[in-house]
Amino acid sequence: MDRPKLLAQLTLEEKISLLAGQNFWETKSIDRLSIPSAKVSDGPNGVRGAQFSGGVKAACFPSSTALAATWDVDLARRVGAALAEEAHTKGAVCVLAPTVCLHRSPLGGRNFESWSEDPFLTGKLASAYIRGLQEQGVGATIKHFAGNEQETKRTTINVNIGERALRELYLKPFEIAVREAQPWALMTSYNLVNGEHADGNRFLLDTVLRQQWGYDGLVMSDWGGTNSTVESLNAGLDLEMPGPGRHRAEDKVKSQIESGAVGMSTIDARVESVLKFLERTGKFDRPETSPEQAINKPEHQRLIRDGGAQGIVLLKNEKDILPLDAKKLKSVAAVGLAKECLASGGGSAGVNSHYKVIPFEALEASLGPDVELRYGQGGHLFRNLPDWEDDVSNLEGRPGFTLSRYESQDCSGAPESITTIKTGSYMPMGARCGSISLECIYKPSVSGSHYLGFSSLGQSKVYVDDQVVFNITEDCDDAMGFLFGGVEEARAQFSFSQGKEYRVRVESFSPAVNPSSGILGGLLGVHFGFMHQQVFEEDLFTAAVDAARSADVALVFVGNTPSWETEGRDLTSMTLPVDGSQDRLISAVAAVNKNVIVIINTGNPIAMPWLDDVCAVIQAWFPGQEAGNSIVDVLLGKVNPGGKLPMTIPKSLSDTPAYKNFPGDVEKLQVYYEEGVEIGYRFYDKHPEKALFPFGFGLSYSKFEIRNVNLDSKALKQGGSITITAEVHNLGPRAGSEVVQVYVAPPAGSVDRPVKTLAGFAKVTVESGESAQAEVKVAFDAVSYWSEKQSMWAVYKGVYKAIIGTSAVDIVESLEFEVEKDVTYKP
């Protein structure tokens, strides 16, 4: 394709049309010049397709924290390649992933979707993931550029980051990936960075990204994350998504060109990026968009199962209780979330999985009929009551609710449409109106003071017969959180009699549009939940404890469901929901059984007040649709755990570096990264008493010894590297893997620097009784820091240390090397 020639043929109106999406998921096509549209799709751990929920089924892969815990670059590449194949089945040529923002706080609602607290580990794994995608002809979209380390007020918060922390930490994973993998697309974040919205931030998009890093790909906004016309065009935002454009409407752009605020050369540069993207993704050769298909590939099933298991981190294994020997067991209790498949966190990363393997079913299949398998739920974990569906009929007597949509703001006048919906929850994407009503006749199958739960985007009233049960007088301040089920509902009880008919009516009014609304501004949405009193108040706790009381082993499954750990909503505590009930279950089970194993499904670290009372703990993350099999493979020793923590697990929330500055001043919409460059292990190296489990830590069913550690050179020169080699010997009874981690410690100097920083790693698999060679290269960049005084990278001369270990605190060897002269260099 001759891009300059094609660019010259475009009219101004056609050029402008290419600068915003055609619809929610596709770029604009121009039939006159045979310019095709390109379809993109979420997301990081599965290619969902066009529907946010209930769409065509897709494979759900391990979430990014699970992949990061493997420390396996090749596995990340293979997952990227598999996601490219999944994209083909959804007609997409670009995947909106990977997310590489760092884990600044364990409360980050979207941490599970990102990788690590460390920029080097994040950048290296993300680069491999990107290469896997793009080698198969599918674009990657690295995101969110930049400073999107929280969900609270994410569309309006101003992130104040010092220049050094920005360069050394928060931009570094993007820089590594751009330089090593050249993602075909990059997505800007919603937030402001140092006073400017990311989509209109010329320093980030032009100075850093394009000039300093040499990026030549497409820059797109997050969905609804374009905040200006002039600033975003001049800064370097190529594409406003979704379409049709609000800030890229033809009249708005034309008027700014006529005023001289935007030059034609800028328009042409933005259009050329879009054309280059279409060319790279092969759309000119294959212009058609194929229909979405659900293709459940056996090779993807195997990759998901293996990847999920490889990422599991064994945190504790007292008395070598693991792996379990099924031949020696007569009874096993699996309590808590054993019948939940926590495959992924919530939000845009969610997919409608082909299937989900729950742990209890995987245990049944693996333990066999000779082992008694007991179960106890322990308690309810829902954030919102289940959608109301049972025993309701619409106004015509059919199952469901009658939905009426009105142009008016108060449900007055004749409705513009009347339909029936299956449940009491409703949120159409893009279809706006003034108000809605939901009505049904409820005929209880059982008497009781049943539980009702309700939340809405706009102001609402809920009546049972003529009695007001809910009166929501304020608009929801977190529309995205509402969309993804992260907004907690109002709850009430109402006394119902079996067989009696009750008329239920909801009236909900369109919310006001404000800067935080984004693409959901003005949309109506309601969630109406219901649960029988008898079900809600059932004593599940005692039943679970009783199930565990006399079992040979008690497996307690705990974690966060997608409504608790989700995009659009940060966590408020490191304590597991709800209100510590899961912690109480673990403690109660440990009081009646001495062989307790805790399995944690979260993307974030959690508080562990019961740690001393249990024999074993495994951090299983969100391992994808094969979750049950992955977990049981590790429990029973089919897989020797080799996962290593990609973040530090602190003792408590108050022991975290951003504790006093997360999520910031939400009233003034300001957050200050006052901890500077000391997040994660950089902080805990100076405060070791605050860490429960260190960065890079993970046990194995084998024991490894690192021997014969050597440096190939005692001098590190600009533009060069040094290589560390080590022999990894497996002293254990089974094959396993070890990660050799290399950190660099600087000499004493005038600049306060972290004690050490990760500079390289190598994962090796070793057979029992054998050895394998690990090789790690440390580049010159690893010894640099950002000089705010000079606005350049700087390295001072002196004797450095290459610190070799199996975690940030488990150090095997320390070798010295020298940088002979002070060096500064441009980014």
Residues 253, 258, 261, 267: is their CA dihedral positive or negative? positive
Within 10 Å of residue 272's Cβ, how many Cβ atoms? 18
Q: Catalytic residue among 42, 222, 570, 781, which? A: 222
Are 789 and 170 spatial neighbours (Cβ–Cβ below 8 Å)? no
Instruction: Answer yes or no: are the C-beta atoms of 564 and 383 closer than 8 Å.
Output: yes
Distance CA 200, CA 231 (A): 5
What Cα–Cα distance (Å) separates residue 780 from each residue in 692, 745, 795?
Answer: 32, 13, 9
Go through the chain and tell me how many residues it has. Answer: 827
Degrees (nearest 5) of the Cα angle 369, 375, 377? 160
- 3-class secondary structure, 350: coil
Residue 63 Ramachandran class (φ > 0 left, ψ -120 to 50 alpha, else beta): beta
Please list, residue by residue across 307-332, b when 16 or more beta carbons sit within 10 angstroms of its beta carbon and e when fewer do: bbbbbbbbbbbeeebbbbebeebebb
Closest CA to 481 of 825, 150, 45: 150
Helix/strand/coil for 165? helix
Contact at 8 Å (CB) between 68 and 122? yes
Among the listed residues 254, 240, 307, the one whose alpha carbon sits nearest the alpha carbon of residue 70: 307
Parallel/antiparallel/unpaired status of strands 670-672 and 158-160: parallel
- Could you confirm whether 539 is annotated as catalytic? no
Q: Are 235 and 225 contacting, i.e. CB atoms less than 8 angstroms apart?
A: no
What whole-number distance in Å separates Cα of residue 100 and Cα of residue 76?
A: 13
Specify the amino acid at residue 283: K
**Which residue(s) pair with 139 in the sheet?**
94
CA dist., res. 314 & res. 338, Å (int) = 18
Answer whether 793's CB lies under 8 Å from 787's CB.
yes
By CB atoms closer than 10 A (0-12, 13-18, 19+), residue 815 is middle
**What are the counts of helices (DSSP H) followed by strands (DSSP E) for the chain?**
19, 37
CA angle 698, 345, 741 (to 5 degrees): 25
Q: Using alpha carbons, list the distances in angstroms from residue 378 to 163, 269, 445, 586, 710.
A: 48, 59, 26, 10, 52
Identify any residues that bridge with 400 across adjacent strands, giving them in sequence order: none
288 and 50 Cβ atoms separated by less than 8 Å: no
Quickly tell me which residue has 């969100």 as its tokens: 622
Cα within 13 Å of Cα(478), Cβ side? 20
Query: How many Å apart are CA 235 and CA 201, to the nearest integer?
Result: 6
The distance in angstroms from the start CA to the end CA of the chain is 33
Sequence letter at residue 394:
N
Query: Which residue is it, tokens 């001759």?
Result: 2
Q: Which two tokens stand for residue 433?
A: 């109106």
Distances, alpha carbon 299 to alpha carbons 86, 131, 303, 630, in Å: 12, 19, 6, 15
Give SS3 for 524: coil
Q: Cβ distance 348 to 241 under 8 Å?
A: no
Give the active site residues. 222
